[in-house]
Amino acid sequence: MDAEYFSLEQLWKGIQRRLKRFGLDPCNTADVMELPGKVSSKKVEWIETSYGDARSRKFFGGIYGFVEVTDFHPEVAKLLAWGRHIGVGELTRFGFGRFDVAIG
Q: Can you say how many angstroms the Cα of residue 6 is from the centroid of all Cα atoms in its chain?
A: 9
Task: Establish if 70 belongs to a structural domain.
Answer: yes
In tens digits, the chain (104 residues) has pLDDT values of 344 567 777 888 888 888 888 888 766 655 556 656 788 888 888 888 898 999 999 988 887 888 888 887 777 777 788 888 888 887 788 778 888 877 65
Range of the domain at 79: 8-94
Give me the pLDDT at residue 33, please: 62
| Secondary structure, 3-state, the chain | CCCCCCCHHHHHHHHHHHHHHCCCCCCCHHHHHHCCCEEEEEEEEEEEEEECCCCCCEEEEEEEEEEEEECCCHHHHHHHHHHHHHCCCCCHHHCCCCCCCCCC
Give me the pLDDT at residue 53, please: 94
Task: Establish if 100 belongs to a structural domain.
Answer: no
Task: Establish if 101 belongs to a structural domain.
Answer: no
Task: Establish if 2 belongs to a structural domain.
Answer: no
Give me the pLDDT at residue 56, please: 94
The answer to whether residues 44 and 66 touch, using CB atoms and an 8 Å cutoff, is yes
Q: What domain count does the chain have?
A: 1
Task: Establish if 104 belongs to a structural domain.
Answer: no
